[in-house]
Structure 1
Amino acid sequence: MEKENLYLCMGSACHQMGVYEVLPKLQELIKEYKLENHVELKGSFCLETCSSGIVMKYKGQHFINISPQNIEDKFIGEILPMIQERNLPLNS
Protein backbone atom coordinates (compact mmCIF):
# COMPACT_ATOMS: atom_id res chain seq x y z
CA MET A 1 0.00 0.00 0.00
CA GLU A 2 1.35 3.39 -0.96
CA LYS A 3 1.50 6.07 1.71
CA GLU A 4 -0.30 9.36 1.24
CA ASN A 5 1.61 12.56 1.89
CA LEU A 6 0.57 14.74 4.80
CA TYR A 7 2.14 18.14 4.25
CA LEU A 8 3.02 20.59 7.00
CA CYS A 9 3.79 24.11 5.83
CA MET A 10 7.31 25.17 6.84
CA GLY A 11 7.16 28.60 5.19
CA SER A 12 8.37 31.70 7.02
CA ALA A 13 4.90 32.78 8.23
CA CYS A 14 4.21 29.32 9.69
CA HIS A 15 7.71 29.28 11.15
CA GLN A 16 6.89 32.51 13.00
CA MET A 17 3.62 30.99 14.29
CA GLY A 18 5.34 28.00 15.88
CA VAL A 19 5.45 25.22 13.29
CA TYR A 20 8.54 23.79 14.96
CA GLU A 21 6.48 23.25 18.12
CA VAL A 22 3.69 21.62 16.09
CA LEU A 23 6.03 19.19 14.30
CA PRO A 24 7.02 16.95 17.25
CA LYS A 25 3.43 16.85 18.50
CA LEU A 26 2.28 15.79 15.04
CA GLN A 27 4.94 13.07 14.87
CA GLU A 28 3.74 11.74 18.25
CA LEU A 29 0.10 11.72 17.08
CA ILE A 30 0.99 9.78 13.93
CA LYS A 31 2.72 7.15 16.08
CA GLU A 32 -0.03 7.11 18.71
CA TYR A 33 -2.70 6.38 16.08
CA LYS A 34 -0.44 3.90 14.26
CA LEU A 35 -0.55 5.78 10.97
CA GLU A 36 3.10 5.29 10.01
CA ASN A 37 2.10 2.87 7.24
CA HIS A 38 -0.62 5.16 5.90
CA VAL A 39 0.84 8.67 5.84
CA GLU A 40 4.20 10.22 5.16
CA LEU A 41 4.70 13.52 6.99
CA LYS A 42 6.48 15.98 4.74
CA GLY A 43 7.52 19.56 5.10
CA SER A 44 6.21 21.88 2.44
CA PHE A 45 7.09 25.31 1.18
CA CYS A 46 4.38 27.93 1.53
CA LEU A 47 0.86 26.54 1.02
CA GLU A 48 -0.34 30.10 0.27
CA THR A 49 -2.78 30.56 3.12
CA CYS A 50 -0.43 32.58 5.33
CA SER A 51 -3.19 34.61 6.99
CA SER A 52 -4.88 31.42 8.23
CA GLY A 53 -2.34 30.25 10.79
CA ILE A 54 -0.22 27.14 10.36
CA VAL A 55 -1.50 25.03 7.48
CA MET A 56 -1.47 21.34 6.63
CA LYS A 57 -2.60 19.60 3.46
CA TYR A 58 -3.78 16.04 2.87
CA LYS A 59 -5.24 14.81 -0.43
CA GLY A 60 -5.82 18.37 -1.65
CA GLN A 61 -7.67 19.36 1.55
CA HIS A 62 -6.21 22.26 3.54
CA PHE A 63 -6.39 22.34 7.33
CA ILE A 64 -5.91 25.87 8.65
CA ASN A 65 -5.49 27.80 11.90
CA ILE A 66 -3.27 25.12 13.42
CA SER A 67 -1.21 26.13 16.44
CA PRO A 68 0.97 24.36 19.02
CA GLN A 69 -1.99 24.69 21.41
CA ASN A 70 -4.65 23.12 19.17
CA ILE A 71 -2.75 20.61 17.00
CA GLU A 72 -4.05 17.60 18.94
CA ASP A 73 -7.70 18.73 18.70
CA LYS A 74 -7.33 19.65 15.01
CA PHE A 75 -5.63 16.35 14.25
CA ILE A 76 -8.22 14.20 16.05
CA GLY A 77 -11.23 16.21 14.87
CA GLU A 78 -10.33 17.01 11.27
CA ILE A 79 -7.25 15.22 9.91
CA LEU A 80 -7.51 11.77 11.53
CA PRO A 81 -11.07 11.07 10.28
CA MET A 82 -10.00 11.90 6.72
CA ILE A 83 -6.95 9.61 6.92
CA GLN A 84 -9.00 6.78 8.42
CA GLU A 85 -11.76 7.22 5.82
CA ARG A 86 -9.21 6.88 3.02
CA ASN A 87 -7.56 3.83 4.55
CA LEU A 88 -10.50 1.62 5.47
CA PRO A 89 -10.11 -1.81 3.90
CA LEU A 90 -12.44 -2.46 0.99
CA ASN A 91 -15.17 -5.07 1.49
CA SER A 92 -14.97 -4.81 5.26
Structure 2
Amino acid sequence: MVITVCVGSSCHLKGSYDVINELKKFIKDYNLEDRVELKADFCMGNCLRAVSVKIDDGKCLSIKPNNVEKFFREYVLGNLQ
Protein backbone atom coordinates (compact mmCIF):
# COMPACT_ATOMS: atom_id res chain seq x y z
CA MET A 1 0.00 0.00 0.00
CA VAL A 2 1.28 3.47 -0.89
CA ILE A 3 -0.07 6.53 0.94
CA THR A 4 0.66 9.82 -0.81
CA VAL A 5 0.27 13.10 1.07
CA CYS A 6 0.23 16.46 -0.68
CA VAL A 7 2.85 18.94 0.54
CA GLY A 8 1.94 21.76 -1.86
CA SER A 9 1.30 25.28 -0.60
CA SER A 10 -2.34 24.93 0.45
CA CYS A 11 -1.87 21.54 2.06
CA HIS A 12 1.33 22.65 3.74
CA LEU A 13 -0.48 25.60 5.32
CA LYS A 14 -3.27 23.32 6.53
CA GLY A 15 -0.92 20.84 8.23
CA SER A 16 0.38 18.29 5.74
CA TYR A 17 3.59 17.79 7.71
CA ASP A 18 1.57 17.13 10.87
CA VAL A 19 -0.45 14.56 8.90
CA ILE A 20 2.77 12.94 7.64
CA ASN A 21 4.24 12.76 11.14
CA GLU A 22 1.05 11.20 12.52
CA LEU A 23 0.96 8.66 9.69
CA LYS A 24 4.63 7.77 10.32
CA LYS A 25 3.78 7.21 13.98
CA PHE A 26 0.81 4.95 13.24
CA ILE A 27 2.74 2.97 10.61
CA LYS A 28 5.49 2.34 13.16
CA ASP A 29 3.09 1.65 16.06
CA TYR A 30 1.32 -1.03 14.01
CA ASN A 31 4.59 -2.47 12.62
CA LEU A 32 3.50 -1.82 9.04
CA GLU A 33 6.81 -0.47 7.72
CA ASP A 34 7.09 -3.42 5.33
CA ARG A 35 3.49 -3.09 4.08
CA VAL A 36 2.86 0.65 3.90
CA GLU A 37 4.96 3.19 2.01
CA LEU A 38 4.54 6.90 2.70
CA LYS A 39 5.23 9.40 -0.10
CA ALA A 40 4.79 13.11 -0.71
CA ASP A 41 3.46 14.93 -3.78
CA PHE A 42 3.55 18.64 -4.54
CA CYS A 43 0.00 19.03 -5.83
CA MET A 44 -2.93 16.67 -6.19
CA GLY A 45 -5.30 19.28 -7.62
CA ASN A 46 -7.52 19.25 -4.55
CA CYS A 47 -6.28 22.52 -3.01
CA LEU A 48 -9.62 23.72 -1.66
CA ARG A 49 -10.02 20.56 0.40
CA ALA A 50 -6.51 20.28 1.83
CA VAL A 51 -4.81 18.18 3.26
CA SER A 52 -5.05 15.83 0.29
CA VAL A 53 -4.17 12.17 0.70
CA LYS A 54 -4.39 9.27 -1.72
CA ILE A 55 -4.03 5.52 -1.16
CA ASP A 56 -2.48 3.73 -4.13
CA ASP A 57 -4.37 4.97 -7.21
CA GLY A 58 -7.59 5.62 -5.30
CA LYS A 59 -9.58 8.80 -5.01
CA CYS A 60 -8.14 11.90 -3.39
CA LEU A 61 -9.29 12.19 0.22
CA SER A 62 -9.18 15.21 2.51
CA ILE A 63 -7.97 14.81 6.06
CA LYS A 64 -6.89 17.15 8.83
CA PRO A 65 -4.20 16.63 11.45
CA ASN A 66 -6.89 15.99 14.10
CA ASN A 67 -8.53 13.09 12.22
CA VAL A 68 -5.49 11.14 11.02
CA GLU A 69 -6.19 8.30 13.43
CA LYS A 70 -9.73 7.85 12.11
CA PHE A 71 -8.41 7.91 8.53
CA PHE A 72 -5.70 5.39 9.41
CA ARG A 73 -8.08 2.95 11.08
CA GLU A 74 -10.70 3.15 8.34
CA TYR A 75 -8.66 3.37 5.17
CA VAL A 76 -5.31 1.80 6.06
CA LEU A 77 -6.03 -0.87 8.65
CA GLY A 78 -9.42 -1.56 7.05
CA ASN A 79 -7.78 -2.30 3.69
CA LEU A 80 -4.89 -4.36 5.06
CA GLN A 81 -6.98 -6.88 6.97
Please indicate the TM-score interval, normalised by the length of the shorter structure.
Answer: 0.7 to 0.9
Counterpart in the other structure of 1:68: 65
CA distance in 2 between counterparts of 1:24 and 1:37 reads 17
Q: Does 1:22 align with 2:16?
A: no
Letter in 2 for 1:13: S
Ranked by relative contact order (alpha carbons within 8 Å, sequence separation 6 or more), the top structure is: 2
| Higher fraction of strand | 1
Structure 2 matches for 1:28-47, cutoff 5 A? 28-47=25-44
Unaligned 5+ residue runs, structure 2?
Answer: none
CA distance in 1 between counterparts of 2:57 and 2:26 reads 21
CA distance in 1 between counterparts of 2:72 and 2:30 reads 11
Q: Structure 1 length as normaliser, TM-score?
A: 0.77
Unaligned 5+ residue runs, structure 1?
Answer: 86-92
Letter in 1 for 2:57: G
Q: Percent identity?
A: 35
Aligned counterpart for 2:77 among listed residues 76, 80, 83: 80
Q: Structure 2 length as normaliser, TM-score?
A: 0.86
Q: Does 1:9 align with 2:6?
A: yes
Q: Is the 8 A contact 1:10 1:43 kept in 2?
A: yes
Q: Is the 8 A contact 1:55 1:62 kept in 2?
A: no
CA-atom RMSD in angstroms: 1.5
Structure 1 residues 76 and 53, CA gap change in structure 2 (3 angstroms)? same
